[in-house]
Amino acid sequence: MTVPMPLAEMAQLAPRVRDLGFSGMVVTEAGRTAFLGCGVAAVSAPGLHLATGVAVAFARSPMVTAQTAWELAQATGGRFRLGLGTQVRAHVERRYGAEFDHPGPRLRDHVEAVRACFAAFRGDRRLDHHGEFVELTLLPRDWAPGPIGVPDPPVDVAAVNPWMLRMAGEVADGVHVHPLNTPTYLRGTVLPELAVGAGRAGRDPAAVTRIVPCFTVVGDDEEERSRWRELARMQVAFYGSTPNYAFIFEQVGRPGTTAALREHQKAGDVAGMVAVIDDELLAHFVVEAPWEGLAEGILDRYEGLAERVVLYFAGLAARSDPATLERFGRVAAAVSAG
């Protein structure tokens, strides 16, 4: 996983990531667009699997999203996945100037509209999407990109709560699980809710790819592990302050965690937020191991729960510690082989 970066830097990083043993990169969207980074990576590192993880759906029309994904699918030889998410109301309305109301149904309509565009690009049928929020009916031949010789790019959605997971099971090719995840949450919420949604659509739940970020606490001595442990603790505290995620703490027997985090957050007490996530609680959210045992730890944790595991902290290593990125690359290769 990596944040977008200046395009010249992405052109240097992507071949290195591929050569170190990673099968792919998930590019997030923040101050820079995820799509341009994926485009540069596609042409500078052929063979690398790429995904937006995730792009903000409502910031773009479904046609713009579909055209961009279509080109990236062609550039990667079919190794691109379109990951979409809702973001939150403040960003969508005040940063992007877009509509946000009814985000779940709106995202579903967006996915279906993107798929309608793909079908029209291939020439299978004319563009004729009439959704609850989007209507698309015009695509003259000169404005269609045409067939690209590879399958349609898979469309994945970010989902946390049961409604969104059921929607993903119904209409998406995959689901981006939130970084704030535990095996309890994956077994008790993600898998069964995806299955409910897939059942509604007459689909096999196994057709929905589960893409799961992993916090790793790794090192061959306590000093090294402590660095990653505190980074993970900070991330769990940050993500866990979101009210919609409170139930994930409740599932592991720690009700009230989100309320405590928000109390410290409102007071500007970052240290207090971090202190809420004690070691016992943190253990639910991380894989901790020495370097030689990390791949095995990841395989043990996610067996039957994920098809793709994303090393959350590898992008940080790419920016600050090339030697550590190499070690993460060996872990990634070992996980793939396993």
Q: How far apart are CA 103 and CA 82, in angstroms?
A: 18
Q: Round to whole Å and give the CA distance between 232 and 234.
A: 5
Q: Which two tokens stand for residue 117?
A: 């565009």
Same domain, 72 and 203: yes
CA distance 155 to 153: 6
Distances 236 to 43, 126, 217, 228 between C-alpha atoms, Å: 35, 46, 13, 12
Regarding whether 69 and 163 lie in a shared domain, the answer is: yes
Range of the domain at 249: 221-289
Q: What's the total number of domains in the chain?
A: 2
Q: Is residue 75 part of a domain?
A: yes
Residue 228 belongs to a domain: yes
pLDDT of residue 320: 84
Global confidence as pTM: 0.95
Same domain, 261 and 169: no
**227 located within any domain:** yes
Q: Exposed/middle/buried for 162, CB within 10 Å: 0-12, 13-18, 19+?
A: middle
Q: Which long-range contacts (CB under 8 A, 24 or more apart) does 268-275 make?
A: 273/237, 273/238, 273/241, 274/230, 274/233, 274/234, 274/237
2 part of a folded domain: no
Domain boundary among 270, 289, 308: 289
Q: Do 138 and 247 belong together in one domain? A: no
319 occurs within a structural domain: yes
Task: Tell me which of 289, 305, 325 is where a domain ends.
Answer: 289
pLDDT of residue 318: 86
Neighbour tally for 272: CB within 10 Å: 15
Q: How far apart are CA 243 and CA 222, in angstroms?
A: 33
Task: Count Cβ atoms within 10 A of the Cβ of residue 92 and give its class: 0-12 exposed, 13-18 middle, 19 or more buried.
Answer: buried
Q: Are 263 and 206 in the same domain?
A: no
pLDDT of residue 319: 84
In this structure, are 141 and 17 located in the same domain?
yes
Same structural domain, 45 and 132: yes
For 261-294, what is each residue's pLDDT tens digit?
999 999 999 999 999 999 999 999 999 999 999 9
CATH number at residue 59: 3.20.20.30
- Give tens-digit pLDDT for 16-65: 999 999 999 999 998 999 999 999 999 999 999 999 999 999 999 999 99
Q: Could you tell me if 161 and 178 lie in one domain?
A: yes
Residue 113 lies in a domain: yes
Residues 234 and 110 in one domain: no
**Rounded distance between C-alpha atoms, residue 311 and residue 328, angstroms:** 8
Q: Are residues 69 and 93 in the same domain?
A: yes
Name residues of the chain where pLDDT drops below 70.
none
In a domain, 1, yes or no: no
19 and 133, same structural domain?
Answer: yes
| 338 within 8 A of 295, measured Cβ to Cβ | yes
Same domain, 174 and 280: no
Report the residue count for the chain. 338
What pLDDT shows up at residue 237? 98
Instruction: Give the residue from 207, 225, 201 showing the smallest Cα distance to 215.
Output: 225
